[in-house]
Structure 1
């Protein structure tokens, strides 16, 4: 809008030193199948949407963040408490049952998913992985009380006959991020892993371990589930959503290695010359990694995928976030995966990528 008054905090003049802004019209319209709870009238009016998935298990969403809870007949078990839901989560529970909350499960320690854990008071049992406990002890937050029951690998809760299986399969999105599986309704919470209908958020959701994050899709698919809850994106999904996410991640991994094995770092080094910019290696590194990210992004967005469609036709935001995910996977490939060899005595560099 030509006459729009811009806020004082909006920085627009950094040019190459900053990050540019885009017009929404620059991108493809997202698939309608991804819209989800963002457009549900009850969420717009109340600030949340709650619905029963099956057998007393409920999904609650603020539109951007979600979690789940289950009635056991002897109390409610809640899994995660995003601050974006906050006390609206209490309202959602009270809307569906008179049972008190007796158990709270941390999927992981991140504040955006469990930053309202305090709302359930001191009497609930708080359960999480031992790494979640360690991190919350190290970095205390009054709104994220430390779990008082922990486990190292696997644990099963049996509350009035309702079984809930907790499993830690190693670092993926972060240390201590667990899978939460409820066998009877066949519902699995794989928080910050699967993103039904959507591209994963930038830098693969800021995940700490790319290799573990990629493996997590196969770990999810090893469960006998009908519904997956991701913690984000305003939608629940099924197995096909996880398969779709796995395909996108494998494309990122394959094209990132191809970029590292194809793009010549020395091409950019030669641009330094011998004058006053001869030591400007950070500028050269910036161009090199941008070239890698652009290589991967073009490959991803040009590809006709397994169902005959392009990624922009399948996943919300594929054209917006792929460049960020490409940079992340390129960098993590360089750090976590083999380099196709190493410098041999008498040579300058090994075959293929070496940076």
Structure 2
């Protein structure tokens, strides 16, 4: 076994120089606020591997401490949203802990395996499986998404928003358009005031890298406003350690909007940075990397240092913001060029526009 193959050995990474990625430690970042840990260190989660909690009126939140989802008792069967592999069989245990109703309906929020990859454990129950058309298309195209168990193919699909009634309990299956992925739907139980909006916000935290690895950054940013249109007591987001409140959703929206606005500012003034003098034009990718890195650092600094409406900076307010903001800034900068149609100051400088 080479050094590169040994877990935790950074030797070969450091030999990569500028071609490698940095390896940091906890000491390099801010400590996580105590309330950011959510369910992670609760006694029941530590003992059982999961935590289950009622949001309101028969709607439940269940988490592994990293991945989470929602289910609702209807009096004649459970409606389950997603089945993350990191919950796995514990999802069955969590449901059995609060009800003896069988899982009769399984709704896929979207096609990513990290959220639905364990759905095969419910195949024997033969629930109705519901998703967006695009999600079914992806599952049929890549049947290995669910690992050895496979994924039950949706039996019913929606193209636009629709409703579901199970034993008098209503669910709104809302598709507002492409966001984290095409076909990512929001599942809302109005009686329970419980919302599942997966991979948009991470309550109390910055989202994961690159706007939660979203396929459409503009749609992902807009989805924060969509969440706030609902009357909800709790929003289940897929990550990290607790369900969210309207205040969490607003904070995530404001943080995202700040990144967008500072990115627009950086693009407008991109020609004022010093990278061209340092790099020259001979290696286009080195030049572009420095250009994006300069702007990313500008956006990251402005975002993390901004004093927000509660008197804290984003670095103080959202756990992990000092880890992830640079990745969001890079993704938003690129999206502004590709999805918003902005022409950067740098491009104007090296490719003069017509009539200039």
TM-score, normalized by the shorter chain, greater than 0.5: yes
CA-to-aligned-CA distance 1:124-166 (integer Å, 9 cap, x gap): 1000011111111112135222211001111111111111110
**Residues of 2 paired with 1:288 and 1:318: CA distance?**
23
1:319 counterpart residue number: 322
**Displacement over 6 Å in runs of 4+:** none
Q: 1:67-78, aligned counterparts within 5 Å?
A: 67-78=69-80
2:13 counterpart residue number: 12
TM-superposed CA distance for 1:8, in Å, is 6.9
2:156 counterpart residue number: 149
CA-to-aligned-CA distance 1:223-271 (integer Å, 9 cap, x gap): 1111111011111121010000000000000011111111228843444
Higher helix share: 2
CA-to-aligned-CA distance 1:153-188 (integer Å, 9 cap, x gap): 111111111111101011100011000000111011
Q: What is the root-mean-square deviation in Å for CA atoms of aligned residues? A: 1.9
Which of 305, 308, 331 is the aligned partner of 2:308?
A: 305
CA-to-aligned-CA distance 1:90-129 (integer Å, 9 cap, x gap): 1111111111111100000000000001111151100001
Q: 1:106-125, aligned counterparts within 5 Å?
A: 106-122=108-124, 123-125=126-128
Gaps of 5+ in 2: 1-5
**Residues of 1 paired with 2:9 and 2:130: CA distance?**
41
2:258 is equivalent to residue 257 of structure 1 = no
2:88 counterpart residue number: 86
- Whether contact under 8 Å (1:30, 1:313) holds in the other structure is no
TM-score by length of 1: 0.91
Residue 272 to residue 194, structure 1, CA distance change in 2 (3 Å): closer
Aligned residues: 338
2:35 counterpart residue number: 33
Residue 340 to residue 332, structure 1, CA distance change in 2 (3 Å): closer
SS of the equivalent of 1:264 reads helix
Residue 272 to residue 227, structure 1, CA distance change in 2 (3 Å): closer
TM-score by length of 2: 0.90
CA-to-aligned-CA distance 1:73-104 (integer Å, 9 cap, x gap): 11111111000000110111111111111110
2:141 counterpart residue number: 138
